[in-house]
Amino acid sequence: MEFTEAFYNDPYLTEQDSTVQSCEPCKKGYKAVLSDTIFYPEGGGQPSDRGFLVTGDGTRIPVNDVKRNGEDMVELYMESPVSSGDTVHQVIDWDFRFSLMQNHSGEHIVSGLINREYGFENEGFHMSDVITIDISGELDREQIINIERKANQAIWKNIPVNIIFPEMGELEDLNYRSKKELSGKVRLVNIEDTDSCACCGLHVKRTGEIGLIKILSFIRYKGGVRLEMVCGDKALLDYERKLDSITEIKNALSVKPEEVTEAVNRVLEESAEKSGRIALLNSRYFDMRTAELQGDNDIIFTVEKELDGQEIRKLCDRLNKSGKAGTSVVLAPADKEDEPGEEAYLYVIGSTKHDLKSAAKALNDVLKGRGGGSKEMIQGTFYADMESIKSAVNKAFGVN
């Protein structure tokens, strides 16, 4: 029995007939081995292909995963079995695969250029919606821009991407990346004047097919930098999404696209100014309420319809400090999204007379409440009506 790997012979095969060599049940359903597979197994940082098999009677069986088992066996994982000896028609998800080829080749160009220009290594990379590359040394913004520009110039030159298998003797004299991971036959992916790297992944034939390389971000990471980048269809998608965002923002602010940053900063400044004014007015309002509110049996009880959770806390604090009553209970109507149909109030209770930690438990029990705090101040939500809250509070603080 001989297995060949059609995906290496021609990475552009999207469909092919093959004979089922074996199929057996496994944890993930069934695993099958074909005489000749176009499905790439996960490896070299490149995720496995997906797609389906069509059996003789036209049934489509999705291929959920593909893994290498040993040197020359590739297993397809499926939920339903195929029959040994049957011919099946393989179909891979070409859009998904081609995107991986674009992104993988783009990753080689960027890593190769960083290596050539600055001498740093790619210490690990991960391909999903974006490609993440960990670089062994620090790069600044200017250097990143330089790499991105040169990477795209390499695309415009439409350089051939050549796969070569040098003899062991030749290898020592060759300059290429990923020297350390190697054993056995070495597969080099060469992009002239740009990169040479040992890799088992699948690549485009010429760099022009990558379309575009865009570095999205870089952060310091383990003494070097971690880059995020996208290529090809993913770069286009990223551009489309970002253009949508900018268009929405510019429309909302009624400015030109190039004025968006300035306009957003202006809105933020105005918002900060408004927050300052609101805080000032609140403070005056808290003073007025503190002067106005009177305790009943040493308890001040108030419902503040317009205030939010933070504001009732500040008011409660102000009331407490005024010394007008030993205990202050400040409520505000709560958003009832989480438990619709019930009356709910945010509460803040402050006291100089009672230990509120134990009171919190008793009140939450009676009023189906949540929350707690310190001995002096508690806050949370009561799911109860006003009369029940009032009577529970009076009971908790010894008023009949």
- Which stretches of the chain bind Zn ion, using CB under 5 A? 199, 201
Given the complex with Zn ion, which of 111 and 364 has the nearer CB atom? 111
How far apart (Å, rounded) are the C-alpha atoms in residues 166 and 319? Answer: 83
- Shortest Cβ distance from residue 184 to Zn ion (Å)? 17
Number of neighbouring beta carbons within 10 Å of residue 318: 19
Q: Would you say 151 and 107 are in contact if contact means Cβ atoms under 8 Å apart? A: no
- Shortest Cβ distance from residue 172 to Zn ion (Å)? 21
- Shortest Cβ distance from residue 126 to Zn ion (Å)? 12
Q: By beta-carbon distance, which residue lies closest to Zn ion?
A: 199
Given the complex with Zn ion, which of 44 and 224 has the nearer CB atom? 44
Q: Would you say 154 and 108 are in contact if contact means Cβ atoms under 8 Å apart? A: no
Number of neighbouring beta carbons within 10 Å of residue 150: 18
How far apart (Å, rounded) are the C-alpha atoms in residues 226 and 136? Answer: 9
- Shortest Cβ distance from residue 199 to Zn ion (Å)? 3
Give me the amino acid identity at 271.
S
- Shortest Cβ distance from residue 46 to Zn ion (Å)? 7
Handedness of CA 282, 284, 286, 288 (dihedral sign): negative
How far apart (Å, rounded) are the C-alpha atoms in residues 370 and 361? Answer: 9
Given the complex with Zn ion, which of 175 and 294 has the nearer CB atom? 175
- Shortest Cβ distance from residue 108 to Zn ion (Å)? 6
Give me the amino acid identity at 50.
R
Given the complex with Zn ion, which of 159 and 199 has the nearer CB atom? 199
Candidates 122, 132, 147; CA nearest to 224 is 122
Given the complex with Zn ion, which of 196 and 379 has the nearer CB atom? 196
Given the complex with Zn ion, which of 228 and 298 has the nearer CB atom? 228
- Shortest Cβ distance from residue 197 to Zn ion (Å)? 6
Give the strand pairing for 327-333 and 224-231: unpaired
Given the complex with Zn ion, which of 77 and 176 has the nearer CB atom? 176
Rounded to 5°, angle at Cα 55 from 53 and 57: 145
Q: Would you say 145 and 117 are in contact if contact means Cβ atoms under 8 Å apart? A: no
27-30, Cβ contacts within 8 angstroms, sequence gap of 24 or more: 28/64, 28/65, 28/77, 29/64, 29/77, 29/78, 29/79, 29/80, 30/77, 30/78, 30/79, 30/80, 30/81, 30/82
Helix 260-292 to helix 309-322 angle, to the nearest 10 degrees? 40
Given the complex with Zn ion, which of 100 and 396 has the nearer CB atom? 100
- Shortest Cβ distance from residue 164 to Zn ion (Å)? 14
Given the complex with Zn ion, which of 199 and 363 has the nearer CB atom? 199
- Shortest Cβ distance from residue 4 to Zn ion (Å)? 22
Given the complex with Zn ion, which of 5 and 138 has the nearer CB atom? 5
- Shortest Cβ distance from residue 6 to Zn ion (Å)? 19
* Residue indicated by tokens 């429309």: 251
Side-chain-side CA neighbours of residue 167 (13 Å)? 2
Element (H, E) at 109: helix 94-118
